[in-house]
Amino acid sequence: MKWLVLLGLMTFSECIVKIPLRRVKTMRKALMEKNTLNSFLKEHDYRLSQISSRGSNLTIHPLRNIMDKLYVGNITIGTPPQEFQVIFDTGSSDLWVPSIFCNSTACSTHVMFRHLQSSTFRPTRKIFSINYSSGRMKGVVVHDTVRIGDLVSTNQAFGLSVAEYGFEGMTFDGVLGLNFPDMSSIGAIPIFDNLKNQGAISEPVFAFYLSKNKREGSVVMFGGVDHRYYKGELNWVPLIQADDWSVHMDSISMKGNVIACSGGCEAVVDTGTSLIEGPRNIVNNIQKLIGATPQGSKHYVSCLTVNTLPSIIFTIKGINYPVPARAYILKNSRGECYTAIKENRLRTYRETWILGDVFLRRYFSVFDRGNDRIGLARAV
């Protein structure tokens, strides 16, 4: 293949390597066993309340709301910089953008990285593939300088796609993953970890404010928290394990009755997922309670019911997070209303929910790698 020759890479069959996920006992679990977790967190707790946008410790990067379906922001790659629109995704760990050698229809409508124009570009012999719920891609691993606003990650490993499927017509060029290193499909250090290791950010935290019905105004912030984007106090929830942005959820209820997650379940806080997703049979039961009618891949309701349907309440660590009908009922371009709840495709042995943008528009979210926890507060 021409792209393999130009990049100096071996063929796919020679290079396929499966990267095992490391499952080790986390510090949180070890400390719990010694009953020292609370004192440890108290001693090492980051003073997020003292960090604001008026200081030099916080970088606020603008995102654009694309019709309440996804949020994209600009980054640059290479020297001189080439600009791309990417999804900042807490559900994955890798950065990738299209290569000029990608012949897929999806790539032809997006900005493609021109590696020969970058003086800091460095190829490798590794290939990879990633499967998303909405599509899949495969590509090669390379290195170059990546910038998120004023933040600079040098010699950053990322992917160049050579084939993409399912991303036709999408308004983003690639994905920037913000999950843990263990979740990396390319077996590289994610950009957030590199920024932290290179001293570009002062505190190992990032946060999201996602606007509703407004193209501008959404942000991702690195190195701290700006209190102007939320009301009240942040409620902190420990991660189930320090290798994914997943927390324990107590229940999901409506009008005082538990309708899902009875006895507790897992909740993945995912900025790269548009809707709220759960197991098929449970989601179908909720659609019936709402009175939604299936049609194709969606469930529709009368738009007149938005003001009468009850809130769905997600209880996490004893605190209720209501999502009203006006948030979980969306309207398409034809003026039809449908529910923003769908089945997920996760294959897990326990009930797992994905709290995507429908939930995160209501609640400002902080992802704290220093303390392995997520903070939630009512968004302004």
Catalytic residue (one of 68, 94, 250, 270): 270
Set 68, 89, 94, 193: catalytic member: 89
Measured distance CA(160)–CA(147) in Å, rounded: 16
Q: Which two tokens stand for residue 147?
A: 């910038």
- Residue 183: which of 353, 29, 23 has the closest Cα? 23
270-271-275 Cα angle (round to 5): 75
Active site (annotated) includes residue 89: yes
CA–CA distances in Å: residue 277 to residues 133, 143, 187, 304: 11, 34, 27, 24
Which letter does DSSP use for residue 22 in this model?
P
Say whether 243 is catalytic.
no
Surface-to-core class of residue 94, CB atoms within 10 Å of its CB (0-12 exposed, 13-18 middle, 19+ buried): buried
Helix-then-strand count for the chain, H and E:
9, 26
What dihedral do alpha carbons 46, 48, 50, 51 form, nearest 10°?
Answer: 120
Residues 6+ apart with CB under 8 A from 333: none
The catalytic residues are 89, 270
